[in-house]
Amino acid sequence: MKKIIDFIEEELGAAFEKAGYDRSLAKVTVSNRPDLCEYQCNGAMAGAKAYHKAPFMIADDVIDNLETKKYIGEITAVKPGFINIKLEDQAAASYLNDMRDSEELGIEKVKEPQMIIVDYGGPNVAKPLHVGHLRSAIIGESVKRIARKMGHKVLGDIHLGDWGYQMGLIITELKERKPELPYFDEAFEGEYPKEAPFTISELEEIYPMASARAKEDELYRESALHATYLLQNGHKGYMAVWKHIMEVSVTDLKKNYDNLNVEFDLWKGESDAQSDIPDMIGWLKADGFAHIDQGALVIDVQEESDTKEIPPCMVQKSDGASLYGTTDLATLVQRQRDYEPDKVIYLADKRQELHFLQVFRAAKKTGIVPSGMGLSFLGFGTMNGKDGKPFKTREGGIMRLENLIADIEEEMYKKITDNRTVEEAEAKATAKIVGLAAIKYGDLSNQASKDYVFDVDRFTSFEGNTGPYILYTIVRIKSILNKYAAEGNETDGLKITGAHSDGEKALMLEAAKYNDVMTVAYEELAPHKICAYIYDLANAFNRFYHETKILAGEDDKKKESYIALLVLVKEILEACIDVLGFTAPERM
């Protein structure tokens, strides 16, 4: 739904046109004399010169030609030629009723839906999922949901880091530990075992060990590099090990992302891009887009308007190996072939900004993607601990995502059971829901590009700008509605007829902002704007709640209006937390 001000502007536009003036004069702004009216239009003043007429006459003409007056109470021409517009008493109420009656609360879906790919998550297979990848998953999931809400066709792709040196390291270490396995027997002709020769915990222990050893042991490092090379060139046994690594890791990743309420449509990865690399390199060379520079194959991406040097995008090292950029370009070749997206949005640590700039420019310059395709990079800052350094465990190690979630859930469980007696199972389930909200809201309420401090005490608090506070507000509304229903009343189909107080008016005005906030959050890829909005909305509701006898009042008509407003506010809050990627419990 359009905003009230836009509705009025449209009505005025029609009146300007009907009276013989240019429609564009009908610009409506918030009044600078709020004591007189809410909105004003200075178009008659602006048009006076062009039409050789006194502004006051134009203003009069326009008002005479006004056909509809939705939301408009009084509209008057005042000297020398302003148009003052007072809202009708029930304007806000009728706007909110219209919102409730429209599909999805009146979200103004885009006229031309786009095909959008969101590339997020990006975990590196076989390395434990750590907090660094948390932000990508949380922000990406929200961006995907916001874009869908606006009516776009969106696919989320996890883009696994599944083809690098880490695989060589694991193969090398496994070979040392279990040389008897058939994967390492070059003469082996039979079928490789179906069962992986390791569990996820073993895998997670192998990687850091091998990685540390390779840093000290040059010979070991060389074997790992060689194993990587052989794998990438199709070594049969190593490919089989790689498949095991993938199965075991992906199962574990799915479980982790499930717990985070993060869902990918595509589980593709860097390895999938490999099949397109040789061909791509071939024509990049043949068409002269890529040239050799100090032994490496590169694409120049410097542009005249650049104020600083942008190094070329490297597509092949002197030893023939491909790089991060090569994979990203080949992935775009595939995305273009398979989905013809209008836009691809990438989420990664903001320190990867230059990489994406190079890839985007190279992709457009070489025609890998059409010049009109939108390529955007949403770079996020670091999640720090209270000491201002990247978040670590208490012992100073890398925090595993699973443990972080478990810690938060435990904290929430304590809080929930401190407050009241709840059954164990219910308390556990609620702690899980509220814990997730604490983590996600804590992250999303910050502008993505900024570093932020992951503060468990603050994030799990029921007060202040936190996820639990938002959920607490929703639960409070639900409980009022339940009580009202339990008294034998119908909560559906009631009309808002307020405002009966300043607090209620403030709440109504907040509720009316919903559509606009969602649109802006999409345009700016800014979930934090939705957080800021629901925090304001929750505050407005809680003020209203404390000032008003919602159920205890005598006046049934008023009560019905309150209930109708509560239903709407609850629906808005729920729609917002849904695009942020979490839900509310029934009680807490």
CB-nearer residue toward ligand ARG: 119 or 409: 119
Shortest Å distance, C-beta 184 to ligand ARG: 28
Q: Which of 302, 331, 328 lies closest to 315, judged by CA?
A: 328
Contact 536, 542 (CB under 8 A): no
Name the closest residue to ligand ARG (Cβ): 122
Site stretch for ligand ARG (CB under 6 A), options 79-87, 95-103, 119-127, 552-560: 119-127
Site stretch for ligand ARG (CB under 6 A), options 116-124, 142-150, 287-295, 304-312: 116-124
Shortest Å distance, C-beta 161 to ligand ARG: 3
Return the half-sphere exposure (C-beta side, CA atoms, 13 A cut-off) of residue 313: 29
**Rounded CA separation 279/329 (Å):** 12
Helix ranges restricted to H, 400-526: 401-419, 424-444, 456-459, 467-486, 502-511, 514-523
Alpha carbon of residue 96 to chain centroid: 26
Burial of 75 (0-12, 13-18, 19+ CB in 10 A): buried
Shortest Å distance, C-beta 157 to ligand ARG: 8
Q: What is the DSSP letter of 183?
A: G
Shortest Å distance, C-beta 353 to ligand ARG: 12
Spatial strand order in the sheet of 153-157:
153-157, 115-119, 343-349, 374-380
Q: Determine the 3-state secondary structure of 531 from DSSP.
A: helix
The residues in 175-234 that bind ligand ARG, with binding defined as CB under 6 A, are: none
Return the H-helix or E-strand segment holding 248: helix 236-259
**Rounded CA separation 393/399 (Å):** 5
Q: Which amino acid would we find at residue 543?
A: R
In the set 135, 144, 152, 159, which binds ligand ARG (CB under 6 A)?
Answer: 159
CB-nearer residue toward ligand ARG: 135 or 149: 135
Q: Which amino acid would we find at residue 557?
A: K
- Token look-up 């019905």 returns 560
**Rounded CA separation 561/4 (Å):** 20
Degrees, nearest 5: CA angle 431-433-439? 95
Residues 6+ apart with CB under 8 A from 57: none
Contact 320, 287 (CB under 8 A): no
Shortest Å distance, C-beta 442 to ligand ARG: 21
Q: Determine the 3-state secondary structure of 148 from DSSP.
A: helix
Shortest Å distance, C-beta 346 to ligand ARG: 5
CB-nearer residue toward ligand ARG: 124 or 561: 124
Shortest Å distance, C-beta 241 to ligand ARG: 21
Contact 17, 23 (CB under 8 A): yes
Return the half-sphere exposure (C-beta side, CA atoms, 13 A cut-off) of residue 77: 20
Establish if 128 lies at the interface with ligand ARG (CB under 6 A).
Answer: no
Instruction: Count the neighbouring beta carbons within 10 Å of the beta carbon of residue 295.
Output: 9
Strand partners, 390: 384
The residues in 460-519 that bind ligand ARG, with binding defined as CB under 6 A, are: none
Establish if 346 lies at the interface with ligand ARG (CB under 6 A).
Answer: yes
Shortest Å distance, C-beta 186 to ligand ARG: 32
The residues in 366-385 that bind ligand ARG, with binding defined as CB under 6 A, are: none
CB-nearer residue toward ligand ARG: 334 or 461: 334
CB-nearer residue toward ligand ARG: 202 or 349: 349
In the set 119, 409, 510, 560, which binds ligand ARG (CB under 6 A)?
Answer: 119
CB-nearer residue toward ligand ARG: 97 or 124: 124
Site stretch for ligand ARG (CB under 6 A), options 33-41, 61-69, 118-126, 498-506: 118-126
Shortest Å distance, C-beta 357 to ligand ARG: 13
Shortest Å distance, C-beta 203 to ligand ARG: 17
CB-nearer residue toward ligand ARG: 162 or 510: 162
CB-nearer residue toward ligand ARG: 332 or 540: 332
CB-nearer residue toward ligand ARG: 351 or 389: 351
Shortest Å distance, C-beta 309 to ligand ARG: 22
Contact 471, 584 (CB under 8 A): yes
The pair of three-digit structure tokens given for residue 204, joined into one six-digit string:
């997670």
Shortest Å distance, C-beta 467 to ligand ARG: 26
Establish if 242 lies at the interface with ligand ARG (CB under 6 A).
Answer: no
Spatial strand order in the sheet of 290-293:
290-293, 296-299, 313-316
Establish if 276 lies at the interface with ligand ARG (CB under 6 A).
Answer: no
Q: Determine the 3-state secondary structure of 197 from DSSP.
A: coil
CB-nearer residue toward ligand ARG: 357 or 429: 357
Establish if 348 lies at the interface with ligand ARG (CB under 6 A).
Answer: yes
Shortest Å distance, C-beta 296 to ligand ARG: 19
**Rounded CA separation 83/62 (Å):** 9
Number of residues that bind ligand ARG (CB under 6 A): 8
In the set 252, 272, 276, 328, which binds ligand ARG (CB under 6 A)?
Answer: 328
Establish if 124 lies at the interface with ligand ARG (CB under 6 A).
Answer: yes
Contact 310, 301 (CB under 8 A): yes
Shortest Å distance, C-beta 355 to ligand ARG: 7
CB-nearer residue toward ligand ARG: 346 or 535: 346
Contact 246, 125 (CB under 8 A): yes
Establish if 122 lies at the interface with ligand ARG (CB under 6 A).
Answer: yes
Shortest Å distance, C-beta 103 to ligand ARG: 35
CA trace torsion 190, 194, 199, 205 (10° rounding): 30
Q: What is the CA radius of gyration of the chain?
A: 30
Site stretch for ligand ARG (CB under 6 A), options 68-76, 96-104, 117-125, 182-190: 117-125
Question: What is the per-residue binding string for ligand ARG in 515-554, x denoting contact by CB under 6 A?
Answer: ----------------------------------------
CB-nearer residue toward ligand ARG: 315 or 499: 315
Q: Determine the 3-state secondary structure of 78 from DSSP.
A: strand
Judged by the rule CB under 6 A, the positions of this chain that interact with ligand ARG are: 119, 122, 124, 159, 161, 328, 346, 348
